[in-house]
Amino acid sequence: MNGQKILVTGGAGFIGSHLTAALVKAGAHVVVYDNLSTGRQENVPRGAHLIKADMLDLTRLRLAVAEADIVVHLAARVSIRASMDGFYEDAETNLMGTLNLLRALRGSHVSKLVFASSMAVYADMNGQPSIKESDTTEPISAYGISKLAAEKYLLLLGRTLGIKVAVLRYFNTYGPGQRYTPYVGVVTIFINRLLNHEPIVIYGSGEQRRDFVSVYDVVRCTIAAMNWPGDAGIFNVGSGKATSVNDLAGMIIHKLAPGATAVHEAEQHGEIKNSIADIGHARTTLGYRPADQLADFLDPIIAAHKANLTL
């Protein structure tokens, strides 16, 4: 990474800010492109340059891309539930914003693009132990559709533009610095509800299983994909381990409100019941080895959110 010029769209957000900090530390010249709708200016590390602009602003995108060797495209509206009502806005940012980036890349000297996709592109596991990249992609949310469509455009047009493309399907990412919203990041949602003396709300039985992967492992895999010499590929980025929503709630309740119980409400349309990554392809091709355990990160995440409550 040392000396490379890297453009990170959405670089002021949760994953983007962790990635940008790691790239700056590695000696890269980093430009963050973010409209700050959910990202924060203070998340941009010293040494990185911020362009405050929208993905639909082709003029600003072309200027940003012109100086880049590698683009990491993280900018997105990231909410499965909210995408069902806001399907137009979801597609406008996630799909049309990506197509605008492709327009900006024409004639550039960018050699590599890494795209942050999502486990939401898959169908439910239907009894499988885990999901492989070759398994069925039948999204049940507007968000998943926009991400899958963006993948296909990037992989198709990357070839015609002469740009190598790595698609990373992130699973449920957690870690310090995740901004609280009612829709994204169940670890953060559960912690904030208990800190605000509200019960944890679980939609459905709670036996649905998720693959929780730390933001640090996600960053390590993303950097590995940036260094990967292949022309095009799709990779799951998860821990490869299953945790039920009930078990997650139990771990957080034990730390913050022993004896409390969760409230169960009706299932939410658009959410996959079970989603655990098969990370074999990323392991063998990218050298990805997830190192972090969910249980080890709950205390620092809780501490960070407690600090925010006192600000």
Which residue pairs, CB below 8 angstroms and at least 24 apart, start in 105-111? 105/65, 105/71, 105/161, 105/163, 106/161, 108/65, 108/66, 108/68, 109/69, 110/7, 110/65, 110/68, 110/69, 110/70, 110/71, 110/163, 111/69, 111/70, 111/163, 111/164
Q: Which of 33, 122, 143, 174 is catalytic?
A: 143
Which residues touch 134 (CB under 8 Å, ≥6 apart)? none
For 206, the token pair is: 């709670």
Q: Map residue 9 onto helix, strand or coil.
A: strand
C-alpha R_g of the chain: 19
> Which residues are CB-neighbours of 196 under 8 A, at least 6 positions away?
309
* 283 φ, ψ (degrees, to nearest 5): -65, -50
* Measured distance CA(57)–CA(55) in Å, rounded: 5
* 174 part of the active site: no
Residues recognised as catalytic = 143
